[in-house]
Chains A and B, each alone.
Chain A
Amino acid sequence: MDFQTRSMRLNNARRNATNYLVTGLSVLATLLVILPLVAILFYLVFKGARSLNLAFFTHVPAPVGQSGGGMANSIVGSGIILLLASLLGVPIGIAAGVYLAEFGRGRALATAVRFTADVLNGVPSIVMGIAIYSLIVMQQRHFSAFAGGVALAIMMVPTITRTTEEMLATVPHSIREAALGLGVPKWRTAISVSLRTASPGIITGCMLAFARVAGETAPLLFTAFGNQYWSVNLNQPIAALPLQIYVYAISPYDEWHRLAWAGSLVLIVLIMVSVTLVRIYANRGVLKGGS
């Protein structure tokens, strides 16, 4: 009896120790994940915040040799390219994901689409830039915001498609049956029931894809090209934050280096703000108390 209680106590101590060890390791891993993000943000603020002033947001870049100037055209340009990329990439990506999850089960076309999406996801972004360069820029004989948007859209599609498919797969079959049993056609069930139920996860996927392409430089080098002047014309070369940061960062001038830091800070903050806004908007109207 005495022996038994003692061994039970020992076992308990061991279980508790293991519990603390595993919990501690998870916390440590979490910190390791957060650390680089916090470090980057701090470093950007440290290096870039001083160069941020009103002119940065209202002026176009100053010519070589003159001081001052800003990135207003790059901020607007990035906004235009990303809007175009999202308008093209999000609907196509989601539609393909719905096909894979709701209609294509076990079909050869679905297998092909899934495989293509996975390969496309692994294509280096510079290759995507060259591909769009030969497909659009060479045909049109000029760089354009449109070509940049298409390049980024194609990079968004595979992530969105696969996330959509996986999120739809987590929607319980019983919910689809509930809709079908009410005489709702299958396409309507897929859109109004399955897709709507899976939408929080799908929105996360879209935001991931958005954030990933928002900082892309390589595919824009050959497509949007960059622009030192104001342009909001889709058919003309357009400025973009990553491109401007790239140009400034490889320049020999100290002031341009500081502007590059400031541009990086603005880029990261803009990505964080847009992701947060979409999340807030998407969570509006979600009813409390649901599971």
Chain B
Amino acid sequence: MGVGILVENLNAWYGSTHTLQDINLHIPANHATALIGPSGCGKSTFVRCLNRMHETNPIARATGTVKMGDLDIYKDASPVEIRRRVGMVFQRPNPFPTMSIYDNVISGLKLNGFRNRRILDETVERSLRQAALWEEVKDDLKKKSGASLSGGQQQRMCIARALAVDPEVLLMDEPASALDPVSTSKIEDLIFQLKSQYTIVIVTHNMQQAARVAENTGFFLNGKMVEFDSTHKIFTNPRDKRTEDYITGRFG
């Protein structure tokens, strides 16, 4: 089951660049939330702060509070624990090139020392079914390298890999931007199905995509969150002039 996220006064820096400024936001549980905005506005940095990936960059730092349910992720837990509970799907499919499809999907468990064969087998099947990839790969699970799949299949395998560790939140950083239209629509269908079980945050450049998959949408501009509301409201009747300019294509 998913869990809601409460963000209070979140600030983030890369070196001396202030990439996120005073973000306050409530992301409801078991919904899909889309983040839109022009390139470099801070959306990616924002999601990377939600699983503490931001701090893997040595010159990056962040201040403020991020609460997952009752858990303050910057105070009460280590980054490793947080990342097990908050899965992430990246912009470009990043399969482990030396591993089979099976090992790729199960890598989160195996690399953390989990060895029970039966549970691993079950998890692989469950995750691949959730990611709508099972039928396509079930015959070559251990024969083929994860890197031998097509781009769209690789991305669904990466989603399965994120789901295999049973996260509560799924962060997706432009998950379809490197994919063809057919693969893109498959990923969107997937988001639609997964949001009943997980809290999903999706960064996207594609406003139609945001409108299709997300209940709520946040608009980011120059490191600030300009507006956050129901997707319907953002796209039909935004409060802020800048949001309206962006969604009508006047800049960005």
Contact = CB atoms under 8 A, between A and B. Distances in A.
Interface of A: 105-106, 172, 174-175, 177-185, 188-189, 192-193, 196-197, 199, 286-291
A198 to B, nearest CB: 9
Given A178-B95, A181-B53, A193-B111, 8 more contacts: A183-B108, A183-B165, A188-B111, A199-B98, A287-B98, A289-B144, A289-B147, A291-B147
Nearest to B82: A183
Contact of A179 (B92, B97, B111, B145): B111
A290 B111 contact: no
Interface stretch (B83-91, B121-129, B229-237): B83-91
B87 A174 contact: no
Nearest to B104: A178
A197 B97 contact: yes
Contact of A175 (B58, B97, B108, B111): B97
Contact of B112 (A183, A199, A288): A183
Contacts of B94: 172, 174-175, 177-178
9 contacts: A174-B92, A183-B112, A184-B108, A197-B96, A287-B145, A288-B144, A289-B147, A290-B146, A290-B147
Interface residues of B, number: 34
B148 A289 contact: yes
B53 A180 contact: yes
A287 B90 contact: no
Nearest to A180: B56
Contact of A184 (B53, B97, B112, B146): B112
Interface in B96-115: 96-98, 100, 107-108, 111-112
Given A192-B111, A197-B98, A180 B83 contact: yes
Contacts of B81: 183
B140 to A, nearest CB: 9
B161 A290 contact: no
